Structure 1
Amino acid sequence: MSQKQPCHRQLLGSYFDHRQVSIESVTAAVRTQRAPETNLEAQVLRIVAQKSDWLTTPDILALRTQLDADVSEQARLQQQVRNVVEAITETVATWDQQEMRL
């Protein structure tokens, strides 16, 4: 297993489905909690982690370093949040694929 990849006891993809994460509730939380200097990716990841019971601290740290969401400043906040959640989903799916090959 790669050093950058977190250790998973089981595949995360079966537990994480971005459709189960309410984009509306995450967006509302971002609106109420976000300071102007706060990184949107970090804020969304923190909120998703709080709503999830399967993300471990190593997973969160790995996601933070690997996330690369296309967040356009011109897009509405809800679309920006959706893009970050989709990036989380894609990253977790990549981990699952890598673990299945091991």
Structure 2
Amino acid sequence: MRKASFILATALGLLGPVGCFAQSSGDWLPQSGVKSPYSPLAVPTMLKPLPMSLTELLNKGFKVISTTDYSGQGVLLTIEGRKQTVLCVLTAPNPQTDQNVPTSRCWALN
């Protein structure tokens, strides 16, 4: 019993400080142009529009790598497949507008 209590106390003691590493701000990365040794340069990046939907890409074997909210207007997904990384925005139907079907827009990063 003492050994289990010791292990639990040690685990909680080690995991407790981990909470301070979590970021609550949505934009915690250093901004471009800020005078900081950690501020990156803003470098032009290719975003090649793709004529395929998110559904078509997933059906071709692309896998979802990450998702995040896109300014309340949909979901931003990062997908990978066929040696390509793609960003897609998935927009749900909105009864307040004339959009009555889900849509997606996708761009290749490489």
TM, length-normalised to structure 2: 0.28
Structure with a larger share of its residues in helix:
1
Q: Which has the higher contact order (CA 8 A, sep 6+)?
A: 1
**Structure index of larger Rg:** 2
TM-score (norm 1): 0.29
Q: Whose strand proportion is higher, 1 or 2?
A: 2
